[in-house]
Chains A and B, each alone.
Chain A
Amino acid sequence: MAVRPVLVLPDPFLQRPSVEVGRIDADALALAADLVDTMRSRPACVGLAAPQIGVGLRAFVIDVTGHRKARSCAGELVLFDPRLESAAEPLVAREGCLSVPDLTGDVARASRVVVRGVGTDGAERVVEADAFEARAVLHELDHLDGFLFLDRLASAHSVYRRKVYR
């Protein structure tokens, strides 16, 4: 398992919708391990989606453990073929992305979501997330559809140069 390079803007791969993983085989588990290792290698990173490491499959990892804005916390959560079941209560907050390293932006996202997917054990999982964990889920789901936070900015003046968080 390995820390993989993270694709950054303007890599066109980030705009490509990913395809279903299907059966959870050894390759899928290797992808999950790489996602976790790569996320853990970056300070303050709480989520990573497969397209960010150049894999066009619908899989992501999040872990908001210990984050001061988190309420719900599923711990280290790898989901394959996730689908959003419901989303409610939008809130605007500033977020950044390893794939857009120079900018941050104010983005409105639902603060209560239910997401259904398949875990690393091959079993279906239904996760209810709120607050910061909900934001993380939605940010990673966007990556699977080829969207970045830049596609969700609240306004033309909602984008900022990031210089102190690197």
Chain B
Amino acid sequence: MAHFAVTAVGADRPGIVAGVTGAFVGLGCNLEDSSMTILRGQFAMMLVVDAPAGVGAAELDAALVAPAEALDLVVTVRPAGQEGAGGSSEDAGSWTVAVYGADHPGIVHGVASLLAGLGVNIVDLSTRVVGEPGAPAYTMVLEVTLPAGADPRHLGRRLEATAAELGVTCRLHPAEADIL
């Protein structure tokens, strides 16, 4: 069994999920993890599919041509390992970072650069521009994993300093789940 990461992006309309997944069913692939969302009318999907022996990237690409044309999608296929190098079971836990303030260019890059420099991995991120056109507000929520041994209080202080430079507010809180 080989895993492939597939992405598809296009103007939103009914039938995109059915069309793309139909190509996988036809090849005997199994859908594993997926995430899909819509941003300002653009639908984006990312899926990890498990392909049977004999089905490779070329076969997946070929099977996706018809739905991509019918639905006007940009599709990519690439081989994927079981796990990326981003995190490990040694992580010092998951944390949620909330950033918000007046919108201006450079907020995401500023925060993400700080995190990258500290070895902190971003595992989920969403941003929204809201408010009046004359006074747009920017909100960003990230879920991050800290490297083993990292001190969350240190990260919190560095985030606050970076946020102050960027003129936004930034707070860190644990994304712990309680097991019931």
Contact = CB atoms under 8 A, between A and B. Distances in A.
A96 B91 contact: no
A69 B180 CA distance: 13
Interface string A88-111: 000001111110000011000000
A102 B37 CA distance: 22
7 contacts: A44-B178, A97-B179, A136-B180, A160-B177, A163-B87, A163-B89, A164-B94
B179 A96 contact: yes
Contacts of A80: none
Given A157-B37, A164-B145, A139 B91 contact: no
Interface residues of B, number: 16
Interface residues of A, number: 29
Interface string A153-166: 00001001111111
Nearest to B143: A160
A135 B176 contact: no
Interface string B128-144: 00000000000000010
A104 B180 contact: no
Interface string B73-95: 00000000000000101010110
A140 interface: yes
A96 B178 contact: yes
